[in-house]
Amino acid sequence: MDKFPLLKVLLDLQYLNVATTGIKTYMLELAHAARQFPHPEIEWIFSHDPEEQANDKTFKGPQSKIQKLNYHLDYFRWKEFQLPDLVKYHQPDILICPDFISPAASLPCRRLTVIHDAFFWQMPQNYPKWWRKYFLSLIRKGLKEKTEIITTTEYSKNSLLEHLGNDLPITVVYQAPKILNGVSSPSFLPEHKLAKEGYFLHVGTFDKRKNLPLLVRSYADFLAKSQSAKKLVLVGGPGQSTVMNDKPIVEELVKSLGLEEKVILPGYLDDSDVKALYEGAFCYVFPSENEGFGIPILEAMEFGVPVIHSDQLALMEVAGAAGLHFATGIQSELTEKMILLERERDLKARLVQAGKARSEDFSAQKFIAAFQDTILRSPLAK
């Protein structure tokens, strides 16, 4: 029997040199899953070694305006010149760009462009005007012929249809959470005076859409009404721009409410510290007003941590019936759910059990299988 010719798939991993949160997880887990679960009809080609690119510090950390400009020039040069040259060299059947943007140039191959969410259209106030205009122009110029859009949830798909129309097919591929390998840090909790199941947890940047000031105020009300000794840990760095960054607001709020000993702000942490926090958390709280997916929900559930989340549609979709939700932006409802979870041990146990079951619906194998199916069965394949 004749074998099918291998489909060559080029995966663009350039953006890993600056990605820090959800897109970084997406790109790394996609690359890892492609290696771990190969398909006999697909040959993967990586533009960069994923680990080396993720560890590249050239454009990470605080930067001057000149450094930021140099990064944008480097990124533009990659997308519009170097990546098309790489396509010519490898002659792939399919190019996957997992960071919103595909080259503006015409290419001989099909494209799968991952647009994770519609934030740039939905929340213009959260981005500098010039940057948003520039980034949206790059997105649109890359949506060429023979392109299929991949997105993360049905919510994101419906949002993209609203803003981009239906000229190009849009496919939902559920992603996998980050695998926190290795041993958790045994010293992190005692160093920060945290007890097992003695704190609420949030992991992510301080972007405005995350609603972290709301969480801090709800936590203050929780303390006043419950007399609880539980603390609040907010892991992560500043928002992606001055306009989007709520970290100074959170820091000032913590100070004004006298919560300096109760709210822990450890910044970015390595996997061993994050793993220790998940293992010891009483509850994960996700108050975001807009998400394309919500990876931490699955990370928490996998560790047996119950989740309180806003009723934002993507979070409802990912959590299923395994989370405890509250009306987005309503401080009093979040406080009520925090109090309820502490008082009702049976509720906590049910959420833990449901969460573990729900987390099994999102695995690396299912993630790559959905991609493989899209690669092989796309309406653009013929």
DSSP secondary structure string for all residues of 153-195: SHHHHHHHHHHH-SSS-EEE---------SPPPSSHHHHTT--
28 falls within a domain: yes
2 falls within a domain: no
1 falls within a domain: no
CATH code of the domain covering residue 195: 3.40.50.2000
User: Could you give the CA distance from residue 378 to residue 382 in angstroms, rounded to a whole number?
Assistant: 8
**Which pLDDT belongs to residue 179?**
82
Same-domain status, 37 and 160? yes
Same-domain status, 329 and 367? no
Contact 215, 202 (CB under 8 A): yes
User: Could you give the CA distance from residue 139 to residue 267 in angstroms, rounded to a whole number?
Assistant: 31
Going from the C-alpha of 338 to that of each of 154, 309, 344, the distances in angstroms are 28, 11, 10
Among 161, 148, 117, which Cα is nearest to 23's? Answer: 117
240 falls within a domain: yes
Chain centroid to CA 331: 24
Same-domain status, 168 and 24? yes
Same-domain status, 128 and 260? no
349 falls within a domain: yes
Tokens 């899209």 map to which residue? 374
DSSP-assigned beta bridge partners for residue 199: 231
**Which pLDDT belongs to residue 3?**
58
Same-domain status, 342 and 367? no
Determine how many CB atoms are found less than 10 A away from the CB of residue 88. 10
Determine how many CB atoms are found less than 10 A away from the CB of residue 91. 11
Structural domain tally of the chain?
Answer: 2
| 235, two tokens | 């892991």
User: Could you give the CA distance from residue 168 to residue 170 in angstroms, rounded to a whole number?
Assistant: 6
| 30, two tokens | 């996609």
Same-domain status, 90 and 219? no
Mean pLDDT by runs of 10 across the 382 residues of the chain is 75 92 91 96 96 86 76 92 97 97 95 96 87 92 93 97 94 91 90 96 94 98 96 91 88 97 94 96 97 95 97 97 97 98 96 97 96 81 44
Same-domain status, 349 and 249? yes
Same-domain status, 17 and 146? yes
Same-domain status, 300 and 372? no
User: Could you give the CA distance from residue 246 to residue 171 in angstroms, rounded to a whole number?
Assistant: 33
183 falls within a domain: no
**Which pLDDT belongs to residue 250?**
97
DSSP-assigned beta bridge partners for residue 310: 326
Same-domain status, 284 and 370? no
pLDDT one-digit tens code per residue, 144-165? 889 999 999 999 999 999 999 9
Which structural domain, as residue segments, surrounds residue 23?
A: 7-176+363-377
182 falls within a domain: no
Same-domain status, 52 and 153? yes
**Which pLDDT belongs to residue 61?**
67
Tell whether the torsion through CA atoms of 367, 370, 372 and 374 is positive or negative: negative
Same-domain status, 194 and 301? yes
97 falls within a domain: yes
**Which pLDDT belongs to residue 382?**
42
| 358, two tokens | 């729900």
